[in-house]
Structure 1
């Protein structure tokens, strides 16, 4: 008999399969950029996938009477939703298919990992522990995850910039001859600028999320900051992107140097988001790895 839980799982699995299709469409379009139909197929597929995961998360919210962000499984689903939603908005506003090309593989990974690699016990909804029974759960955790998704998309564009530029000799802000044709120079400049704009959008969200977390921590544990592993790495993440933006704004860095910092930031985000939870220690380990 088909139950609401089965429908929820069906929505998640459908979202994964459609994400696989969108990833293939975007990457084939990267190889054959003149085929605009593939880009439209990728974008349309992401929209359908986002609707599917939204239905799955909504069902989980309705069935369990709390916002689905209490454990690793729900967090990964919400991160996937954030990737898709931000990608849809950014690609529509900026008209750049490289955003989809770098975002969809990560979305597919997070959906696949949550659905097929996490134990069934970790996918089940459990009653909230007392510390999570707060309206701050929705505000703090959702903002943090949205900021992670935004920053990671910007970082992935910087990584793509490094990959493309490594095959050519390009000098930014110098009078040296650029040994590259004009379309490739324009492509790299475009990737560099879009990456900067997206990271500039994600950084204020990260700041707001950390502030909201500090207020919630004071209500729950009586201290704004406890140097918990998660809090420490959140600070490291904030400092990494603060350095990136400071370098871009005050020193007018462009090209490889800030892209390397953004690449480091991508690694730091994953350590903050997943890495410290595999330790199984700290105040932020509820429903994660123990």
Structure 2
């Protein structure tokens, strides 16, 4: 088999230069100070319930948020809007359970009696708004792309931003609701398939919005949000058929500090792998239609190739971190770093797949259709590792089965 290279790929152009410079100004300083103050207030409010690990997680998350807000100013607006809405919802909830839990029925009665909570601020209502806005963005993006309508594409982006706000509001509301139902139920909402599908949708959407801004092109939005839409279709089925939205206590194996960092790191990896695969589909469509041309509706092949590479590189880094964290968690929970459990085995397969992808890209110069097909295949492998193992295999991670 001959090795593909830049000269063999029809329509290939060198990757565009992207200015990575970012001046540090007064607004950046204000942003970082605001995040630091918020984290200190949070620590002061909940210090009695925080150990050294969770304290490190709190300030580490604050540092990461400050950095992301510096390199991507749009995240400041998202953070501010989410903070205002979520703090109002939490303040209202705190008036109910200031001294502890109030029970499931009392919480439901309050949500039913309040218009804002019934239709907007409860975790279920906010999540449904997220689902609706994300699903509406798919046809909006595609219509905007086909019609070459910048306005339509901007509306698509606005829908994704609004959906992300509601996803985070639902996340924080669900977190507080778990404690209001029963103090022993309280947990960060990344403990079951319903909750992590929400995390996947929001992370994937936000990561796409970053690449959308970075490459100044919105025409891939329909492709990326399509995979988000598929995950949301599963979420709706899971909620309707299994009542998965009902808050239940964590299984003992998940009641750990490690979950707070292992799961989010994993889903940054899953989200970027999904983006690379959907961009790969767009790449192949354009390639089969003749490549770059004067009537392009999609980004140039070189741009899509570069997005795939950057997405997989970022995802691989976070997936590697998540795998290491998972091994450390396993050592604490089960007494060994690795047990060849089906979930662990398939995580290794995913890691090896993308390690090979990056190796061929960086050392052999592979680009073009073969890498697009590979990224699509990688998504299939990742999907089985994420969901298929839970459905068809059993092991130490069987608590995540459908």
Q: When the two structures are superposed, what TM-score results if normalisation uses the length of structure 2?
A: 0.66
What secondary structure is seen at the aligned counterpart in 1 of 2:398? Answer: coil
Q: Kindly indicate whether residue 235 of structure 2 is the aligned counterpart of residue 121 of structure 1.
A: no
Per-residue CA deviation, residues 128-172 of structure 1 (Å, 9 max, x unaligned), is: 12211111001111110111001110121112211221233x6xx
Per-residue CA deviation, residues 39-74 of structure 1 (Å, 9 max, x unaligned), is: 110111111000011111111111112111111111
Q: Kindly indicate whether residue 357 of structure 2 is the aligned counterpart of residue 244 of structure 1.
A: yes
Tell whether the 8 Å contact from 1:154 to 1:198 is kept in structure 2 after alignment: yes
Per-residue CA deviation, residues 186-244 of structure 1 (Å, 9 max, x unaligned), is: 72221111111111111101111100000000000011111111111111111111111
Q: Kindly indicate whether residue 276 of structure 2 is the aligned counterpart of residue 154 of structure 1.
A: yes
Matched with 2:338 is 225
Q: CA RMSD of the aligned region, Å?
A: 2.0
Match of 1:195 among 292, 302, 308: 308
Matched with 2:26 is none
Match of 1:71 among 151, 170, 192: 192
Give 5+ residue unaligned stretches, structure 1: 171-179
Distance 1:30 1:76, change over 3 A: same
Match of 1:216 among 295, 311, 329: 329
Matched with 1:41 is 155
Tell whether the 8 Å contact from 1:71 to 1:288 is kept in structure 2 after alignment: no
Q: Kindly indicate whether residue 263 of structure 2 is the aligned counterpart of residue 141 of structure 1.
A: yes
Q: What is the rounded CA distance, in whole Å, between the counterparts of 1:284 and 1:84 in structure 2?
A: 27
Matched with 1:176 is none
Q: Kindly indicate whether residue 117 of structure 2 is the aligned counterpart of residue 3 of structure 1.
A: no
Q: What is the rounded CA distance, in whole Å, between the counterparts of 1:287 and 1:264 in structure 2?
A: 24
Per-residue CA deviation, residues 95-135 of structure 1 (Å, 9 max, x unaligned), is: 22144222212222222321244434332221112211111
Matched with 2:207 is 86
Give 5+ residue unaligned stretches, structure 2: 1-108, 179-185
Tell whether the 8 Å contact from 1:122 to 1:287 is kept in structure 2 after alignment: no
- How much has 1:94 moved relative to structure 2? 2.2
Larger radius of gyration: 2
- How much has 1:183 moved relative to structure 2? 6.1
Matched with 1:173 is none
> How many equivalent pairs are there?
278
Tell whether the 8 Å contact from 2:134 to 2:225 is kept in structure 1 after alignment: yes
What secondary structure is seen at the aligned counterpart in 2 of 1:23? Answer: helix
Tell whether the 8 Å contact from 1:70 to 1:286 is kept in structure 2 after alignment: no
Q: What is the rounded CA distance, in whole Å, between the counterparts of 1:16 and 1:135 in structure 2?
A: 29
Q: When the two structures are superposed, what TM-score results if normalisation uses the length of structure 1?
A: 0.90
Q: What is the rounded CA distance, in whole Å, between the counterparts of 1:186 and 1:138 in structure 2?
A: 37
Q: What is the rounded CA distance, in whole Å, between the counterparts of 1:263 and 1:95 in structure 2?
A: 24
Matched with 2:377 is 264
Q: What is the rounded CA distance, in whole Å, between the counterparts of 1:258 and 1:249 in structure 2?
A: 12
Q: What is the rounded CA distance, in whole Å, between the counterparts of 1:266 and 1:24 in structure 2?
A: 23
Q: Kindly indicate whether residue 130 of structure 2 is the aligned counterpart of residue 15 of structure 1.
A: yes
Tell whether the 8 Å contact from 1:12 to 1:115 is kept in structure 2 after alignment: no
- How much has 1:288 moved relative to structure 2? 2.9
What secondary structure is seen at the aligned counterpart in 2 of 1:110? Answer: helix
